[in-house]
């Protein structure tokens, strides 16, 4: 089974990280990724730009319309995701817990099983 592990955190807190803190978190996360990649269990990983860079296309009955900013104003924002292959939910939870150790503090990892996955042949 493939799972998406979705990262949520308060963006203003992440933006207050110093460059050193940022680099350390990225390095520690990369170590977890490497472990799973070597087992052939890791799919695409993405870190998103701040929500200020987001644009939302809202669907409506007639035309869709374009709004600046993220889809929802929430206290914690969707900041990135991992795709991981796991045999059981427990394995997926263990992966998210390893991420939480690498990137402690507030925020959450939401584990969502994939229903459909098209890896695409596009940019890497």
Partner 1 sequence: MSELAWIDLALTAARPQAMGALLRYFRDLDLAEEAFQEACLRALKNWPDKGPPRDPAAWLILVGRNSGIDRVRKRAREQPLPPEEMLSDLGDAEDDLAERLDGAHYRDDILRLLFVCCHPDLPATQQIALALRIVSGLSVRQIARAFLVSEAAMEQRITRAKARVAAAGIPFEAPDAAARAERLSVVAQMIYLVFNEGYSAGTAEAADAPFATEAIRLARLLLKLFPAEPEIMGLAALLLIQHSRLAARFDADGQIVLLDDQDRALWDRDLIAEALVLIDKAMRHRAPGPFQVQAAIAALHARAAAPAETDWAGIERLYRTLERLQPSPVVTLNRAVAVWKLEGAEAALALVEPLGERLSGYFHFHGLRGGLLKELGRREAAREAFDRAVALARTPAEAAHIRQHLDGLQRERVASRS
Query: Which two three-digit tokens encode residue 39?
Result: 């087992």
| Per-residue binder mask for partner 1 (CB under 8 A), 19-48, x = binder | --x---x-----------------------
Q: Is 64 in the site for partner 1 (CB under 8 A)?
A: no
**What is the Cα–Cα distance from 44 to 24, expressed in whole angstroms?**
21
The C-alpha atoms of residue 26 and residue 20 are separated, in whole angstroms, by 10
Could you say which of 20, 38, 39, 55 contacts partner 1 (CB under 8 A)?
55
Do 93 and 111 contact (CB within 8 A), yes or no? yes
Q: Please give the residue ranges that form the binding site for partner 1 (CB under 8 A).
A: 10-13, 15-17, 21, 25, 49-53, 55, 66-69, 73, 75, 104-106
């Amino acid at each position: 089974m493939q799972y998406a592990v979705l990262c949520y955190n308060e963006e203003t807190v992440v933006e207050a990280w110093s460059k050193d803190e940022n680099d350390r978190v990225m390095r520690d996360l990369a170590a977890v990724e490497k472990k799973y990649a070597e087992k052939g269990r890791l799919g695409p990983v993405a870190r998103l730009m701040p929500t200020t860079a987001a644009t939302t296309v809202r669907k409506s009955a007639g035309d869709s319309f374009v709004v600046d900013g993220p889809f929802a104003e929430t206290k914690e924002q969707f900041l990135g995701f991992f795709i991981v292959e796991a045999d059981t939910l427990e394995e997926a939870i263990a992966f998210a817990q390893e991420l939480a150790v690498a990137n402690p503090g507030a925020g959450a990892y939401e584990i969502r099983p994939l229903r459909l996955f098209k890896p695409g042949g596009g940019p890497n």
